[in-house]
């Protein structure tokens, strides 16, 4: 067995071979306090321990180590029989910021079928932004498991590549899972407004309110002027959160044609929506906005009144 | 070498406090020069110490390109602090804030990003956009600990620093302290010292009567403020108390920056908003206080209008980060965000630059007025710094201290001073039939509540000061029966120092400023002619607590029309209760 | 002055069947920012020795065997 120069590390190494799994478990905890780089290899050893509780303990502390030192073991741990181990490995992998670990991640992705493992690898690949992840991510967009599709959308969104738009638009419009649709809709904002504006307008009619919110946010972010009519419709949505995002988006478009709809929103019983509406009217700052803004100076909600005072000064400055 | 038969530990850079700013300072000093000996001393254990022991749920002062500018931020903080700020220090923070986010991101700290990987900034304030959520921010301490180990910083846990040392030239020379589990003293000689000891959060008393149920981590009891005072450093604006809105009785933050972007808000008993002030400030707290005491009180956190999905998101963030036991607190009272508003209150008073503007004076290099002594985080005077400010000033101090340490030799130690200090810190163990630390602590903190808590009344503060001094006279009766009680006893020394400083600083500034933080009922007006300045509190050559004024450095960012815009967002005059 | 001791209900509860302090584990004791958890010499297990809790939860979160439970202190409940 290997000997270590550091006496504390040697002590841990000895305990890691103790027949009592309880002692081995406590030894794993002590690894965290070692400043020795070789502690990582003992952690790897613990990740392969026969006892599931020891492996779990090792997996729980993997995020105390620099993941590049232990990437291979983490990948192996992704297929551990124990969910705690798999989960910890996936999370630690997701913290990898080193593009050099992309090839082993991609290789592991290729041989994995377990949805949990696949989702974990995709989550780890996302922040690396490697082009080689594009093809496998596109394939996984049609996975049966929604968690996998959601992470695949994440990988593609972060890549910000033009050629992935058709697939992302398709997921945003048609996926069975609302969270996948929401994530895909949110990813579209990296593209040109002419390209993704029309699909975002369609998505504004999604059955799930959070997806509709995401579409409204996107139209505003992209300043997609042709989306105005659909935003006006959305400003009368049954869910106030959608009305709020639509009002904010109209403020970003800064067009007078939005003023009547925003005026309606400014009388909504939900104060959060009145805030959004007055904020948008202040951003537009055209004379047509003035009556609504002046009315809001006496709003019962102080946030609305504050914004109305600000909006009034915007109008005065513009005049 | 030995002093009083105790071996002296030598280091180049000593960092006191291993919470947020301290680890960053220690890592930075090592990054500057790996050959430097850098020691990090912590009263608890670096793994889980300080204000963010369980992580943090968001940044509320992130200056991210495309969302806000350093100039805009400096203006807004200047206005929120009624003009009394050191703008160069704010600017240094503002310019380094984004590179620090990038650095923390590369270390593995999780900031919220949108579906394309860009930072998911949220607009909460009316002018700039500064909020960056961290729904998975629970691993911050783990990441710092990893960096400390990787950079081979020497960590000494469970040591309480009690006094700083100076050499004959008045430069910093190290510290004396004590092990909290064995009561063994420690003497460290250092070329440069960085203090990162956190807020003074154990001056006031939570109304529950539970000494440790404070807003701040109760380990942050003002040891650093006291040590800085005794070594002769300037403290600034101590009358600008920290008072925060919080969940009543639980005493943890309500986290408006988590719930705000999701549609939650602070409401009165009618379920309506009432806060006029835009930025977190004493003005906001004054409005809060008025509503709390008024006919529409008390005050609540209102979330019951939000969608189920949103409430689940809020619960996940709030019940896993920063103060995760709040979920358990709500369960115990059968409070459900879906049906119930959550009762709020205001915190006990304290010193915390993170939320207000008081603390040990530091400039834009992190330097205090004692050469070689630097300060970062909640104990240093950079206004509204919060967690990201602690990281940035930890970094600045790490750089400054490394440079200072490289320019000098190991200092000579004042052996007589050390001997006297060793006697002071062992004294409570030698007292028989004395006063337990908890009783003396309760007494002085109760006096702070009764006499110093705003609204401040001159005569009451004078009585309070006399009564605090009377407790100080009892210190020779303070008894510790074991090393743990000695830790508490020595903390009581710091708490009494801080209480006296709070009283004297509040009496010195004869005007009202910063809303509730320094609302003096008998001097209700803001008086710029006499008091547009920082106040200094320091130990004079006779060992007495003295005061002075420090001019506000010329602004590097003029306020211009933002000031007008801000005035439009604020109530014109605080209608004092 | 003479002193007396006063009973107090403490918020941190350790399940002695699950606690592995007797195998050398000191996680909860290490992480407590207020140093209120100690080994009980009678049992070899961790216990709360000083009623000075901030109910901050690292002891519970970091316990490898889920032996520690942090209640809200009675005065705050």
**pLDDT tens, A244-296?**
999 999 999 999 999 999 999 999 999 999 999 999 999 999 999 999 999 99
B58 falls within a domain: yes
B98-145 pLDDT per residue, tens? 999 999 998 989 999 999 999 999 887 667 789 999 988 888 998 999
Whether residue A190 lies within 8 A of chain B, CB to CB, comes out as: yes
**DSSP code of residue B348:** P
Percentage of chain A lying above the pLDDT 70 cut: 99
Per-residue model confidence (pLDDT) at position B470:
98
Of B217, B220, B213, nearest to B199 by C-alpha is B220
- Cα–Cα distance between A75 and B334 in angstroms, integer? 43
Minimal-distance CA residue of chain A relative to C19: A22
- Cα–Cα distance between A167 and A141 in angstroms, integer? 8
Whether residue B273 lies within 8 A of chain A, CB to CB, comes out as: yes
Three-class SS string for chain A? CCCCCCHHHHHHHHHCCCCCHHHHHHHHHHHCCCCCCCHHHHHHHHHCCCCHHHHHHHHHHHHHCCHHHHHHHHHHHCCCCCHHHHHHHHHHHHCCCCHHHHHHHHHHHHCCCCHHHHHHHHHHHHHHCCHHHHHHHHHHCCCCCHHHHHHHHHHHHHHCCHHHHHHHHHHHHHCCCHHHHHHHHHHHHHCCHHHHHHHHHHHCCCCCHHHHHHHHHHHHHHCCHHHHHHHHHHCCCCCHHHHHHHHHHHHHHCCHHHHHHHHHHCCCCCHHHHHHHHHHHHHHCCHHHHHHHHHHCCCCCHHHHHHHHHHHHHHHHHC
Yes or no: say if C31 and C57 are a contact pair by the CB < 8 Å rule.
no
CATH number for the domain spanning B139: value is: 3.50.50.60
In this structure, the answer to whether residues B383 and B532 fall within a common structural domain is no
Contact C23 A26 (CB under 8 A): yes
In this structure, the answer to whether residues B200 and B67 fall within a common structural domain is yes
In this structure, the answer to whether residues B237 and B149 fall within a common structural domain is yes
In this structure, the answer to whether residues B410 and B421 fall within a common structural domain is no
In this structure, the answer to whether residues B171 and B296 fall within a common structural domain is no
Per-residue model confidence (pLDDT) at position B560:
75
- Cα–Cα distance between B212 and B201 in angstroms, integer? 10
Yes or no: say if B151 and B34 are a contact pair by the CB < 8 Å rule.
yes
Q: How distant, in Å, are the alpha carbons of A51, A84, A87, A93, A280 from that of A81?
A: 12, 9, 11, 18, 53
Contact A29 C23 (CB under 8 A): no
Tokens 């009451």 appear where? B460
- Specify the number of domains making up chain B: 3
B556 falls within a domain: no
Contact C24 A23 (CB under 8 A): yes
Tokens 């604020």 appear where? B570
When scoring A241, A242, A244, A296 by the number of chain B Cβ atoms within 10 A, the one with the most, hence best to mutate, is: A241
In this structure, the answer to whether residues B166 and B217 fall within a common structural domain is yes
CATH number for the domain spanning B516: value is: 1.20.58.100
Name the pLDDT band for A64 (thresholds 50, 70, 90): confident
CB contacts, 8 Å: B221 with chain C? none
- Domain region containing B336: 245-346
Of C29, C14, C12, nearest to C66 by C-alpha is C14
Q: In chain B, what's the furthest Cα-to-Cα distance?
A: 68
DSSP string covering B221-239, please?
BSHHHHHHHHTT--EE-TT
pTM for the whole structure: 0.95
CB contacts, 8 Å: B154 with chain A? none
Contact A22 C64 (CB under 8 A): no
- Cα–Cα distance between B335 and B250 in angstroms, integer? 13
Per-residue model confidence (pLDDT) at position C42:
92
Structure tokens that stand for B323 in this block: 């103060």
Whether residue B221 lies within 8 A of chain C, CB to CB, comes out as: no
Whether residue C13 lies within 8 A of chain B, CB to CB, comes out as: no
In this structure, the answer to whether residues B179 and B59 fall within a common structural domain is yes
Of A71, A1, A58, nearest to A24 by C-alpha is A58
Query: Is residue A55 predicted with pLDDT exceeding 70?
Result: yes
What's the rounded mean pLDDT across residues A77-105?
Answer: 77
Per-residue model confidence (pLDDT) at position B576:
40
In this structure, the answer to whether residues B275 and B173 fall within a common structural domain is no
**How far is the first Cα of chain A from the last one, in angstroms, to the nearest whole number?**
83
Task: Spell out, as residue ranges, where chain B has pLDDT lower than 70.
Answer: 125-126, 561-577
In this structure, the answer to whether residues B97 and B176 fall within a common structural domain is yes
- C contact set with A (CB within 8 A): 20, 23-25, 27, 64
In this structure, the answer to whether residues B91 and B120 fall within a common structural domain is yes
Tokens 């009892």 appear where? B474
Q: Walk me through the domains of chain A, giving residue ranges and CATH numbers.
A: 258-319 (1.25.10.10)
Structure tokens that stand for B522 in this block: 């008998």
Query: Is residue C17 predicted with pLDDT exceeding 90?
Result: yes
Of B162, B199, B157, B193, nearest to B46 by C-alpha is B157
Contact C23 A20 (CB under 8 A): yes
Count Cβ atoms below 10 Å from residue B518 Cβ, excluding itself.
Answer: 28
Per-residue model confidence (pLDDT) at position B381:
96
Residue at which a domain ends, from B312, B346, B380: B346
Q: Walk me through the domains of chain C, giving residue ranges and CATH numbers.
A: 12-65 (3.30.70.20)
Contact residues for B475 (Cβ-Cβ < 8 A; gap 6+)? B440, B492, B493, B496
Higher pLDDT, B53 or C37: C37
Residue at which a domain ends, from B304, B322, B346: B346
Contact C54 B212 (CB under 8 A): yes
B552 falls within a domain: no
Structure tokens that stand for B55 in this block: 């992580």
Helix A178-187 crosses helix A209-222 at what angle (to 10 degrees)? 0
* A37 phi/psi in degrees, rounded to 5: -60, -30
Per-residue model confidence (pLDDT) at position B571:
45
Contact B328 C70 (CB under 8 A): yes
In this structure, the answer to whether residues B386 and B339 fall within a common structural domain is no
Per-residue model confidence (pLDDT) at position B565:
56
Residue at which a domain ends, from B372, B387, B414: B414
**DSSP code of residue B412:** P
CA distance, residue B292 to nearest chain C CA (Å)? 19
In this structure, the answer to whether residues B354 and B342 fall within a common structural domain is no
B211 falls within a domain: yes
CB contacts, 8 Å: B273 with chain A? 271, 301-303
Per-residue model confidence (pLDDT) at position B577:
36
């Amino acid at each position: 067995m290997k000997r270590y120069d550091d006496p504390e590390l040697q002590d841990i190494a000895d305990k890691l071979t103790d027949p009592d799994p309880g002692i081995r478990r406590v030894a794993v905890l002590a690894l965290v306090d070692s400043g020795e780089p070789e502690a990582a290899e003992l952690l790897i050893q613990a990740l392969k321990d026969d006892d599931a509780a020891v492996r779990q303990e090792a997996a729980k502390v993997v995020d105390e180590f620099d993941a590049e030192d232990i990437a291979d073991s983490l990948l192996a741990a992704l297929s551990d029989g124990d969910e705690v181990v798999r989960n910890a490995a996936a999370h630690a992998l997701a913290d990898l910021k080193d593009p050099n670990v992309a090839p082993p991640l991609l290789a592991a992705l290729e041989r994995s079928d377990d949805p949990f493992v696949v989702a974990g690898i995709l989550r780890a690949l996302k922040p690396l932004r490697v082009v080689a992840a594009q093809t496998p991510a596109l394939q996984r967009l049609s996975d049966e498991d929604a968690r996998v599709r959601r992470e695949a959308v994440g990988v593609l969104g972060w890549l910000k590549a033009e050629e992935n738009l058709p697939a992302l638009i398709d997921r945003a419009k048609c996926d069975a899972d609302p969270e996948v649709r929401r994530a895909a809709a949110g990813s579209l904002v990296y593209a040109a407004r002419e390209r993704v504006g029309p699909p975002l307008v369609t998505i504004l009619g999604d059955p799930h309110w959070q997806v509709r919110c995401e579409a409204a946010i996107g139209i505003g972010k992209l300043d997609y002027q042709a989306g105005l009519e659909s935003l006006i419709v959305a400003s009368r949505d049954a869910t106030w959160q959608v009305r709020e995002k639509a009002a904010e988006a109209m403020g970003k478009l800064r067009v007078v044609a939005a003023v009547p709809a925003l005026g309606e929103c400014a009388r909504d019983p939900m104060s959060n929506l009145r805030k959004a509406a007055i904020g948008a009217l202040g951003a537009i700052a055209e004379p047509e906005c003035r009556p609504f803004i002046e009315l809001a100076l006496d709003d019962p909600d102080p946030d609305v009144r504050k914004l109305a005072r600000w909006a009034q000064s915007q109008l005065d400055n513009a005049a | 070498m030995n002093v009083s038969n105790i071996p002296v530990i030598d280091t180049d850079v000593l960092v006191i406090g291993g919470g947020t700013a301290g680890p960053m300072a220690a890592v930075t000093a090592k990054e500057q020069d790996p050959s430097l000996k850098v020691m990090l001393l912590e009263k608890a254990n670096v793994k889980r110490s300080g204000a963010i022991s369980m992580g943090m749920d968001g940044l509320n002062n992130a200056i991210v390109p495309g969302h806000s500018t350093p100039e805009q931020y400096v203006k807004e903080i200047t206005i929120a602090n009624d003009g009394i700020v050191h703008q160069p220090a704010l600017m240094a923070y503002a310019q380094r804030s984004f590179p620090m986010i990038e650095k923390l991101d590369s270390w593995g700290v999780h900031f919220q990003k949108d579906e394309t990987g860009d930072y998911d900034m949220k607009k909460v304030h009316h002018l700039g956009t500064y909020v960056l959520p961290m729904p998975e921010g629970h691993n911050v301490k783990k990441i710092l600990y990893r960096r400390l180990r990787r950079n081979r910083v020497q960590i000494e846990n469970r040591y309480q620093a009690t006094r700083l040392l100076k050499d004959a030239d008045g430069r910093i020379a190290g510290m004396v302290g004590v092990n909290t589990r064995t009561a063994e003293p420690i003497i460290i000689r250092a070329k440069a010292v960085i203090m990162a000891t956190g807020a003074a959060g154990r001056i006031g008393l939570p109304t529950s009567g539970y000494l440790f149920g404070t807003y701040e981590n109760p380990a942050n009891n003002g040891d650093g403020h006291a040590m800085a005072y005794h070594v002769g450093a300037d403290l600034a604006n101590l009358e600008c108390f920290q008072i925060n809105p919080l969940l009543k009785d639980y005493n943890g933050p309500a986290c408006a920056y988590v719930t705000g972007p999701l549609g939650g808000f602070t409401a009165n008993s009618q379920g309506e908003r009432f806060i006029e002030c835009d930025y977190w400030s004493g003005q906001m707290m004054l409005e809060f206080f008025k509503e709390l005491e008024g006919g529409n009180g008390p005050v609540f956190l209102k979330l019951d209008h939000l969608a189920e999905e949103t409430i689940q998101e809020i619960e996940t963030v709030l019940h896993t980060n920063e103060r995760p036991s709040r979920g358990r607190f709500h369960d115990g009272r059968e409070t459900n965000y879906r049906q119930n508003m959550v009762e709020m209150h205001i915190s006990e008073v304290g010193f915390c630059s993170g939320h207000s503007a008081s603390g040990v004076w530091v400039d834009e290099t992190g330097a205090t007025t004692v050469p070689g002594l630097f300060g970062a985080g909640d104990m240093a005077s950079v206004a509204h710094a919060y967690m990201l400010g602690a990281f940035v000033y930890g970094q600045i101090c790490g750089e400054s201290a490394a440079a200072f340490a490289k320019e000098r030799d190991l200092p000579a130690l004042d052996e007589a001073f050390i001997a006297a200090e060793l006697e002071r810190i062992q004294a409570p163990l030698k007292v028989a039939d004395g006063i337990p630390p908890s009783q003396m602590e309760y007494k002085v903190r109760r006096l702070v509540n009764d006499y110093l808590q705003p609204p401040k009344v001159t005569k009451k503060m004078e009585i309070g000061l006399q009564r605090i001094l009377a407790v100080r006279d009892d210190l020779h009766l303070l008894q510790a029966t074991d090393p743990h009680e000695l830790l508490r006893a020595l903390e009581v020394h710091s708490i009494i120092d801080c209480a006296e400083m709070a009283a004297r600083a509040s009496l010195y500034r004869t005007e009202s400023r910063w809303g509730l933080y320094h609302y003096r009922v008998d001097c209700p007006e803001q008086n710029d002619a006499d008091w547009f300045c920082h106040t200094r509190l320091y130990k004079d050559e006779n060992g007495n607590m003295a005061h002075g004024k420090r001019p506000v450095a010329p602004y590097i960012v003029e306020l211009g029309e933002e000031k007008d815009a801000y005035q439009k967002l604020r109530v014109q005059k605080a209608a004092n209760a | 002055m003479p002193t007396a001791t006063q009973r107090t209900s403490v918020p941190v509860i350790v399940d002695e069947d699950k606690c592995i302090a007797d195998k050398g584990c000191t996680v909860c004791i290490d992480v407590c920012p207020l140093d209120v958890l100690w080994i009980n010499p009678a049992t070899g297990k961790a216990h709360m020795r000083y009623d000075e809790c901030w109910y901050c939860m690292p002891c519970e979160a970091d316990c490898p065997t889920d032996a520690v439970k942090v209640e809200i202190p009675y005065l705050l409940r």
